[in-house]
Chains A and B, each alone.
Chain A
Amino acid sequence: MTDDDYDEALDAVLDPGEDQNVPTHLRRAAERDLETIQRGLALLAEQAHRPIQEPAPGVPAPARPQDSPLPARRTVRSLPQPRRPLRPLLAACIAIAAAIGVTALLRPWHGQQSDVAEGTPRTTQGQGPITAPQPPAGIPSAPPANASSWES
């Protein structure tokens, strides 16, 4: 068949209202070509969805932008990324350091309270020098050993 014959058949298939006096074999050839083109377009268009992974059986598919009831804003990609959470080890170190710092700050105050109430010497974890006990409030402290005013 010539190209003109085929073009005529193609026109007849593309526009059924056109001339119907086209040989059957030409019409079928044109129809087959159009079906092939149609199938090829569908195959090629499937690649538009290829990056989306198919979910495993029983696992719900993640929501895609086009599945959401409202279209996503176009500025989504420009939004800043959320901060990454601190790594557990780093977070634990920070927590320990904070605890040590708070303990160190509170220790002097806590020690004074204990000394006043109990009148007992305070040591620094048993390693520091033992200081003289502080007298209760209202009682003057003992003078030094060489103070003459005390003897008189």
Chain B
Amino acid sequence: MSISLTLVLQLIVNGLVVGGLLGLVALGLALIFGVIRVVNFAHGEFITLGAYLTWLIAGGLGLSPFIGIPVAFLFGALVGWVVQVLFIGRVMERPPLDSLMMTYSLSILGLGLFSFFFGGDFRSYSAGPNGDLRLAGVTVGLRSLSVLIVCVALGALVIMLLRSGRLGLAFRALAQNRDAAASCGINIRATERLAFSLAVGLAAVAGALISLIGTTTPGVGDDWLLEGFVVVVIGGMGSIPGALAGALLIGLLQSILGYALDDSWAKIITYLLLYLTLLTRPQGLLGSAMEM
């Protein structure tokens, strides 16, 4: 096995694509945990939602899958809003066990609905950019490149939103101290709903992108959610920069390990890293000591 520079660059590119997608997923998870203090086990279903929506658009209607991105975001945000109002919001005042079981139950329900409506078999479509870009001996498929660009752009937008703007301020206020935020006149309910909505919208976009470079099954989102959890635990549960850094790290790690060993080993080692984190630094790299 010869290690050439082009090979390394190739692996890095592959890792960045995975890292970008993980970033979108982890961003949503961190947002929900940070602002609402809920661990969203249903996040995978929202990813799957975006994937199937895009499949309907590209495969069913024959349109460009890129239309699926904004559609997934808007639809996802809407579904997220409804879920927050009808389900999550109602159990938030209860012990954390209840909200955990609520999101988990919603996940099972969602999985069942997808299997029922779309069948358990794989779904894919052929629409989308074909071809590749050659740069310094590295080949990047146009699809993968699009995914990367969208992830980075969307991620940057969200970061900007969080840093400036009143909504971002509200999010950060709730994350820091809920009661203090309320006494500052921030509308807690609306902020929580917006946070959940936004996170779900991001998840749905991730799903749309995943459908572009892979195939869709009812469980596709859940597979990515597992990795997403690793990212937020290692990065720090409520931490946005932790989520992004973690996503990059895990994406690259899996790409390199996937080549050096195989994909299963890459996952095994990644999950073992999670245990290591829990053992040595449970708050993750950038999380606060209170979280775990």
Is A bound to B? Answer: no
A residues in contact (CB < 8 Å) with B: none
